Amino acid sequence: MKLLSRKSITAATAVAVLGGLSIAAVPSQAASPAHDKAAAPTLTARQLAALPLTDRHLTKHEKANLAIVLRDYYVAEGNHIDVPTFVNSFAKDGVFNDMVPGVAYRGKALGNVLPYMKSLFSNVHRDLKRITVNGDTISIELSIQGTFDGQLQAPTGGVVKGKGQKVDAPTADFWYLKNGKVEKFDCFVGYSKMYSDMGVNFDWASAVNNH
């Protein structure tokens, strides 16, 4: 995987663990989150300054929302997946929509999202490139990166085994929050690029010949 920029590293780790303890500048120094639903993450001025924000004049409410979203990215990193913290960030009826394939995850099914990505790319990382905060809505341009060292179930049967291919898939995420909880998370992943990086290419010739 390519070396991460300073902004990328900070974006993945410039969050606070539940209970108000600041996460350090590198993942190896990060404290483990405690699963306390009542506690809220926070961001320091220094952490905010390092983020790729489109507008730095955020209200206190917007900063609180951003901290929640950044914490969710942090606990989705391959080297410290934390499913309970991710799931608990959603409202009771909250939903994660994987928009391109049209799959929705709610309730206990939310717990399947992070382990599935890690099963494909053990070192999965989200490189946050551009963050826009507008009240209860947060829009993020990013890339999903990692090494394909797992197995992908093929729709035709069988599995595609990873051979260490590097993946860098363009992605757009839209988070909608209310009262400190995620009500809806719409994720648009560039699956064509992701599958191509994984060595899975669509057979256009066969498609044309069948018509």
DSSP string of 125-160, one letter each residue: EEEEEEEEEETTEEEEEEEEEEEE-SEEE-TTSSEE
* DSSP string for residues in 80-127: S--HHHHHHTEEEEEEEEETTTTEEEEGGGGGGHHHHHHHHBTT-EEE
Q: What is residue 40's predicted lDDT score, i.e. its pLDDT?
A: 77
Q: What is residue 207's predicted lDDT score, i.e. its pLDDT?
A: 60
Range of the domain at 152: 6-200
What does each of the 211 residues of the chain score in pLDDT, given as a tens digit? Answer: 333 343 443 334 444 332 232 322 223 223 333 344 446 798 999 999 999 999 999 999 999 999 999 999 999 999 999 999 999 999 999 999 999 999 999 999 999 999 999 999 999 999 999 999 999 999 999 999 999 999 999 888 889 999 999 999 999 999 999 999 999 999 999 999 999 999 998 766 666 765 5
In this prediction the pTM is 0.81
Q: What is residue 64's predicted lDDT score, i.e. its pLDDT?
A: 97
Q: What is residue 74's predicted lDDT score, i.e. its pLDDT?
A: 97
Q: What are the distances in angstroms from CA 3 to CA 88, 131, 181? A: 32, 21, 33
Q: Is residue 35 part of a domain?
A: yes
CATH of the domain at 182: 3.10.450.50
Q: Is residue 78 part of a domain?
A: yes
Q: What are the distances in angstroms from CA 162 to CA 12, 43, 80, 119, 151? A: 25, 37, 21, 10, 6
Number of Cβ atoms within 10 Å of the Cβ of 40 = 15
Q: Is residue 207 part of a domain?
A: no
Q: Is residue 133 part of a domain?
A: yes
CA nearest neighbour of 43 among 78, 79, 68: 68
Dihedral sign computed on CA atoms, order 86, 89, 90, 91: positive
Cβ atoms 196, 166 nearer than 8 A:
no
**Total number of domains constituting the chain:** 1
Q: Is residue 15 part of a domain?
A: yes
Number of Cβ atoms within 10 Å of the Cβ of 179 = 7
Q: Is residue 1 part of a domain?
A: no
Q: Which two tokens stand for residue 51?
A: 């983020």
Number of Cβ atoms within 10 Å of the Cβ of 102 = 7
Q: Is residue 144 part of a domain?
A: yes
Nearest-angstrom CA–CA distance, 2 and 47: 23
Q: What is residue 209's predicted lDDT score, i.e. its pLDDT?
A: 62
Q: Is residue 208 part of a domain?
A: no
pLDDT digits (tens, 9 = 90+) for 3-16: 334 344 333 444 43
Phi and psi at residue 10, to the nearest 5°: -70, -40
